[in-house]
A and B are shown apart, each in its own frame.
Chain A
Amino acid sequence: EVQLVESGGGLVQPGRSLKLSCAASGFTFSNYGMAWVRQTPTKGLEWVASISTGGGNTYYRDSVKGRFTISRDNAKNTQYLQMDSLRSEDTATYYCARHPWEEVDYWGQGVMVTVSS
């Protein structure tokens, strides 16, 4: 059974950093692209970043480029999202996502990130 379990969320002040982790199991992690998608009641679902199977290619939405870094450790079956210079508009539920091609076929349960002073 495919499982994606996020951790690392919480309350953080604007300008500070937070690192999300996603532990994957139930599939060959190194064979799949991975992504982070976030959701808010006002903006809905927003793709944040993607990373290729080997980690050599990364992609970001413009609003997080230069502030967020997606990475993966295939030996640990884990992907990460390092979030720096956080802003209030980054407040959201963040989902770890597996994407075999152009869609997400499995989602984690989500982790809440709140950016507030």
Chain B
Amino acid sequence: DIQMTQSPASLSASLGETVSIECLASEGISNSLAWYQQKPGKSPQLLIYGASSLQDGVPSRFSGSGSGTQYSLKISGMQPEDEGVYYCQQGYKYPWTFGGGTKLELK
């Protein structure tokens, strides 16, 4: 199975600060990478697919980049509603696998 390693496990950001979350795959996944946000008691919500494509309705402050085995999610200007847990997921091959999550809090 492809292992997805996310870092950091948690971080705290100030209002307006730019935040980056990293995801490392154990083998190349050809940009088959998605990012999700999950708020307490809610289902995950898709933010980014195909490593860099923004899902409809997601604010443009969210962006994704990367290739091969290394990918990142950037939030350009932290907002209060961005608090939550973020997960990466590879869809390159079954079984799909998720990262362990990054808990993002507002400082």
Contact = CB atoms under 8 A, between A and B. Distances in A.
Interface in A59-113: 59, 61-62, 95, 99, 101-110
Contacts of A105: 46, 49, 55
Interface residues on A, range: 20 to 34
A47 interface: yes
B91 interface: yes
Contacts of A106: 46
B6 to A, nearest CB: 10
Interface string B37-81: 000000111100110000100000000000000000000000000
B95 A103 contact: no
A62 B46 CA distance: 25
Q: How large is the interface on B (under 10, 10 to 19, 20 to 34, 35 or more residues)?
A: 20 to 34
A21 B92 CA distance: 27
A114 interface: no
Given A101-B49, A103-B49, A44 B91 contact: no
B43 A108 contact: yes
A104 B46 contact: yes
Contacts of B89: 45, 47, 103-104
B44 A102 contact: no
Contacts of A99: 91
A107 B87 CA distance: 14
B98 A44 contact: yes
Interface of A: 35, 44-47, 50, 59, 61-62, 95, 99, 101-110
5 contacts: A35-B96, A45-B44, A99-B91, A101-B91, A106-B46
